[in-house]
């Protein structure tokens, strides 16, 4: 007799559904969302970069202040930050730790860069906006044992209290909104920088100006009165007066490695020029040293020059 037909095998029970938008039931990390907070000197925003998972743009009152990629601290988005980093890179042999002071904190872009490129560096970051420091520390925490110390106080007051001959490099990147404060532009401030730097130390400052460069020329004259060596790093279009922009002032008593600065500045995505020697003296022209009594903040940028949104 014919064999009976086999009983059908039971159908397998369906697998439990995965979490929406995930594979294998794994829970996806939440998308980063903008953070807005009123700080001591305005309204700060942390804006996530949609192209880099843990990268953030910091703005204060609409003006971009810093860009940080927590996964890639050596990634410097802003041209002026790369130019400041060129000064740090040429200050000493690669990898050698430095004692650094950063006047102006923002999102701590350059302190993170220096900690990554020169491990073991001791760094002091001075930021007058304590609430801004707290916001950054909360949402963009520093790596463990970074060697970065945070100080919530005025830059000039901190300099005046700092030990003499204690820093290899001082970075000046202090902006109240989009302007360098007046009390950080005088010869008294420059002498304070000189006092804290070691004999072969270097000062690098992020400044902003446009033609006819009255502010920039006055800053060059002021630091030329205190330091033997001076250089300026800026885009050619800015130096020709075609647009308002950033320029990095470099000052030291020791010879600057101008050739290395030139190579690095030329290799950037937006190449810059290094002005030095006679060309720099011609740029300074008849500009006078700034005293405390006649110090003014850097000029207000033209509408939209330094704004987001």
Report percent pLDDT > 70 for the chain.
Answer: 89
Residue 127 near residue 104 (C-beta atoms within 8 A)? yes
User: Which pLDDT score is estimated for 190?
Assistant: 98
Burial string for 232-253 (b: 16+ CB within 10 Å, else e) reads: bbbbeebbeeeebbbbbbbbbe
User: Which pLDDT score is estimated for 31?
Assistant: 83
The angle formed by the CA atoms of residues 129, 195 and 116, to the nearest 5 degrees, is 55
Average pLDDT, the chain: 91
- Cβ contacts of residue 145 below 8 Å, gap of 6+? none
Point out which residues pair with 306 in neighbouring strands.
Answer: none
Please tell me which residue, 27 or 162, carries the higher pLDDT value. 162
Residue 3 near residue 91 (C-beta atoms within 8 A)? no
**For 133-141, what is the mean pLDDT?**
96
What does the block give as tokens for 169? Answer: 């490099």
CA proximity to 114, closest of 93, 136, 97: 97
**19-49 pLDDT per residue, tens:** 444 455 556 667 889 999 999 999 999 999 9
- Cβ contacts of residue 100 below 8 Å, gap of 6+? 88, 111, 114, 121, 122, 123, 124, 167, 168, 169, 170, 171
Distance CA 280, CA 63 (A): 29
- Cβ contacts of residue 134 below 8 Å, gap of 6+? none
Residue 90 near residue 264 (C-beta atoms within 8 A)? yes
SS3 60: strand
Residue 268 near residue 79 (C-beta atoms within 8 A)? yes
Residue 196 near residue 101 (C-beta atoms within 8 A)? yes
User: Which pLDDT score is estimated for 27?
Assistant: 62
User: Which pLDDT score is estimated for 142?
Assistant: 96
User: Which pLDDT score is estimated for 84?
Assistant: 98
User: Which pLDDT score is estimated for 308?
Assistant: 53
The angle formed by the CA atoms of residues 116, 201 and 237, to the nearest 5 degrees, is 75
Residue 208 near residue 300 (C-beta atoms within 8 A)? no
User: Which pLDDT score is estimated for 13?
Assistant: 56
**167-181 pLDDT per residue, tens:** 999 999 999 888 999
User: Which pLDDT score is estimated for 69?
Assistant: 98
Q: Read off φ and ψ for residue 30, nearest 5 degrees.
A: -65, 145
Classify residue 212 by its DSSP letter: T
Distance CA 114, CA 144 (A): 14
Count Cβ atoms within 10 A of the Cβ of residue 217 and give its class: 0-12 exposed, 13-18 middle, 19 or more buried. Answer: middle
**For 253-260, what is the mean pLDDT?**
98
H helices of the chain, in order, are 79-90, 109-117, 130-139, 155-161, 187-196, 214-224, 236-239, 258-267, 278-284
**For 192-215, what is the mean pLDDT?**
98
**For 55-68, what is the mean pLDDT?**
95
**For 188-193, what is the mean pLDDT?**
98
**For 53-64, what is the mean pLDDT?**
94
**276-305 pLDDT per residue, tens:** 999 999 999 999 999 999 999 999 998 766
Burial string for 140-161 (b: 16+ CB within 10 Å, else e) reads: bebeeebbbebbbebbbebbee
């Amino acid at each position: 007799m014919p064999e009976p037909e086999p009983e059908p095998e039971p159908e397998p029970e369906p697998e439990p559904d995965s979490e929406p938008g995930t594979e294998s039931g794994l829970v996806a990390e939440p998308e980063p969302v903008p953070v807005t907070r009123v700080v001591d000197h305005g309204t700060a925003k942390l804006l996530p970069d949609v192209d880099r998972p843990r990268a953030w743009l910091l703005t204060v009152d609409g003006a971009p202040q810093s860009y940080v990629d927590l996964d890639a601290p050596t990634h410097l988005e802003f041209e002026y930050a790369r130019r400041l980093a060129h000064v740090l890179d040429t200050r000493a042999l690669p990898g050698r730790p430095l004692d650094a002071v950063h006047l102006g904190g923002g999102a701590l872009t350059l302190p993170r860069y220096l900690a990554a490129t020169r491990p073991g560096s001791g760094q002091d970051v001075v930021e007058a906006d304590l609430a801004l420091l707290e916001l950054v520390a909360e949402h963009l925490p520093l790596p463990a044992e970074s060697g970065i110390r945070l100080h919530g106080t005025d830059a000039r007051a901190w300099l005046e209290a700092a030990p003499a001959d204690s820093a290899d490099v001082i970075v000046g990147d202090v902006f109240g909104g989009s302007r360098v404060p007046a009390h950080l532009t005088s010869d008294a401030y420059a002498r304070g920088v000189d006092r804290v730097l070691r004999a072969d130390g270097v000062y690098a400052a992020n400044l902003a100006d446009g033609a006819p460069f009255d502010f920039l020329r006055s800053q060059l004259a002021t630091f030329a009165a205190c330091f033997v060596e001076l250089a300026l790093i800026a885009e050619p279009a800015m130096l020709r007066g075609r647009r308002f922009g950033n320029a990095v002032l470099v000052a030291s008593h020791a010879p600057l490695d101008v050739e290395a600065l030139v190579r690095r500045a030329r290799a950037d995505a937006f190449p810059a020029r290094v002005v030095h020697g006679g060309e720099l003296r011609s740029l300074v022209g008849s500009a006078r040293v700034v005293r405390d009594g006649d110090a003014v903040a850097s000029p207000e940028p033209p509408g939209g020059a330094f704004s987001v949104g």
